[in-house]
Structure 1
């Protein structure tokens, strides 16, 4: 039986939740269902290409009088969403991330359709404002199904919000990794002069320490930059690349400028920390790097770590809530540091891997087993079985 499925999310900009939303929509389409992705923001904000056969719609803009009301216009927005669901005869609606999930639960109240929701970060690590916390407490227990990425997140939702039933659905990895615009060649990011030795002849290419993310604080990039500065003198051939940060301000902050300001002018790391921006060919960067690092303060289930491990990278991650410990077995397929690892602990892990090629190779080879454990086919089957149930 064909099911009309709506995925509701704020936008399709860069980010893990956005990418997973499209992957789930693709699973629906491949299973013979009719998926549509509804966003609050216009399509001009989209980064990821829409899978074939997946419809894309945008919520109607607020009338001027509703926009002028601010928060008080929220009931109107809920009613508008409810009207859209009825008009499109949606049978299962899935809210991705906290605010869209709350709004969706309110919109489907009393309608003959199922409502699923999915938190994409460990909830207590990034609490919403008080009004949203209250609404979350009132609404989450009314969802028909909670898609949770880890047992830890599921336990928290169950204890604090009565959020049941649940389906454990970690992120998947589709191998080989997809590639799309913008295509940024790792070689072009590094200035050609970096390949010259003191005599002016070509030297070996720099070794790359790679980190990827769109939110600098969450990903702990400040910790990483400080740690890299500690070892820059001892590892003159190592360069740090932080991919994913846009040139646009994030919540009023220039993330790149903030990170650059952490380097003293006299630091040996100056000129060796690179920000290529958003890249669509991320697989090329995993292939080019010597090691991958994820010093996050919190996660949901880190796509970039999963992809790096699938690519055979030697990986270092902090044991933040949640996800890294579900992927890395310390010393076996990566290095897992304490959640509150100091800058020095990060630096020591980096320098250990940089100086031990055999260790990097062993960890990288073992890491590739995530291709099977978190395969797209396996997790798609789990999702579609719930959809058909």
Structure 2
């Protein structure tokens, strides 16, 4: 979305992937160049050496004379910082998780150090994350917060006629669907004809389905990942999220753009900057399954409350529209080039 928006504003934009995994999943503007740094075979063997991808990237940047390189994952600084050393190209590192996530592996820690010492800017998705970086001693002058834009802009709101609580995401430990099932098990015999629908695929699918069977729950439906996810937003009336951690959960923006009331755990990071507790839905202390269950039961049993939160969500999502976010990116790029 950001690449497309910048290209439409006249910037020359290249999306460069380390590996050739085929065409991008999402639509790319015809003015955006898509290219690949390495391919399988010899590249794959040489990639195992630290210096090879660095030299490949450095050569590519020099050849195309880029003004700015933006890493779309902070771990890429592990290669991009040494690749850009001594070149006139400016460097923005864009993190999509949060400070605690970068502590999960040595390569990310090293990338963090390289970013801190050499990159021009580190773009973060939330102020909450920015505060953690400052507390860790990262230079505040190098930090910049830009939210992600909603991919649903100007869409038809959900009629909210179906008695469905929806959750969308990969079936992985991060997304916490075991926690959502545990919450639902507390109230499943009190929800009447309401159903919980989980849309997504992943390595935990079999264990999550086994959890449902062991709990003897018959009102949870699993739906494989689909490109037509908007269909399920239109069928739902409430959106639930129980992730263990996030960067900036796009599903909340999508749900809000469709006018769905939200109930979410206040995990790191993102939910508290998107969901206004008691206004657009409920923000529940992370891991408090009992409170989550009671708040969810209260919401699904009160249509007027749903209507109130729905209207507020539609209003709150306006600040995440693409034009505003693209303005912030364009301003940042202009500032570092001056």
TM-score of the alignment, normalized to the shorter chain, above 0.5: yes
Structure 1 distance, partners of 2:207, 2:267, is 23
Counterpart of 2:310 (choices 364, 368, 375) is: 364
Structure 2 distance, partners of 1:236, 1:37, is 49
User: In 2, are the aligned partners of 1:210 and 1:293 still within 8 Å (CA)?
Assistant: yes
The 3-state SS of whatever aligns with 2:55 is helix
1:141 Cα deviation after fit: 2.8
Residue 126 and residue 276 in structure 1: after superposition, are their counterparts in 2 closer, same or farther (change >3 A)?
farther
RMSD: 2.4
The 3-state SS of whatever aligns with 1:241 is strand
Asked if 1:262 corresponds to 2:190, the answer is: no
Match of 1:202 in 2: none
Counterpart of 2:122 (choices 146, 157, 163) is: 146
Structure 2 distance, partners of 1:126, 1:243, is 28
Structure 1 distance, partners of 2:200, 2:102, is 20
Structure 2 distance, partners of 1:178, 1:97, is 29
| Cα deviation 1:42-68 (Å, max 9, x = unaligned) | 243742222332111112236648627
Counterpart of 1:209 (choices 165, 181, 185) is: 165
Counterpart of 1:379 (choices 322, 325, 333) is: 325
The 3-state SS of whatever aligns with 1:228 is helix
Match of 2:25 in 1: 47
Structure 2 distance, partners of 1:323, 1:351, is 24
**Aligned residue-pair number:** 331
The 3-state SS of whatever aligns with 2:38 is coil
Match of 2:292 in 1: 346
Contiguous gaps of at least 5 residues in structure 2? none
Residue 277 and residue 106 in structure 1: after superposition, are their counterparts in 2 closer, same or farther (change >3 A)?
farther
Contiguous gaps of at least 5 residues in structure 1? 1-22, 180-185, 187-204, 247-253
1:107 Cα deviation after fit: 1.2
Match of 1:156 in 2: 132
Runs of 4+ that moved beyond 6 A? none
Asked if 1:169 corresponds to 2:146, the answer is: yes
Structure 2 distance, partners of 1:266, 1:123, is 36
Structure 2 distance, partners of 1:36, 1:229, is 48
| Cα deviation 1:182-222 (Å, max 9, x = unaligned) | xxxx9xxxxxxxxxxxxxxxxxx862110111253212111
Residue 45 and residue 234 in structure 1: after superposition, are their counterparts in 2 closer, same or farther (change >3 A)?
farther
Match of 2:193 in 1: 237
User: In 1, are the aligned partners of 2:155 and 2:257 still within 8 Å (CA)?
Assistant: no
Residue 363 and residue 294 in structure 1: after superposition, are their counterparts in 2 closer, same or farther (change >3 A)?
same
1:372 Cα deviation after fit: 2.0
User: In 2, are the aligned partners of 1:105 and 1:140 still within 8 Å (CA)?
Assistant: no
1:302 Cα deviation after fit: 1.3
Moved more, 225-234 or 353-362: 225-234
1:101 Cα deviation after fit: 3.0
1:96 Cα deviation after fit: 1.1
Equivalent runs, 1:1-389 vs 2, <5 Å = 23-44=1-22, 46-61=24-39, 64=42, 67=45, 70=48, 73-125=49-101, 127-160=103-136, 162-163=138-139, 164-176=141-153, 207-246=163-202, 254-265=203-214, 267=216, 269-270=217-218, 272-342=219-289, 344-389=290-335
TM-score normalised by structure 2 residue count: 0.89
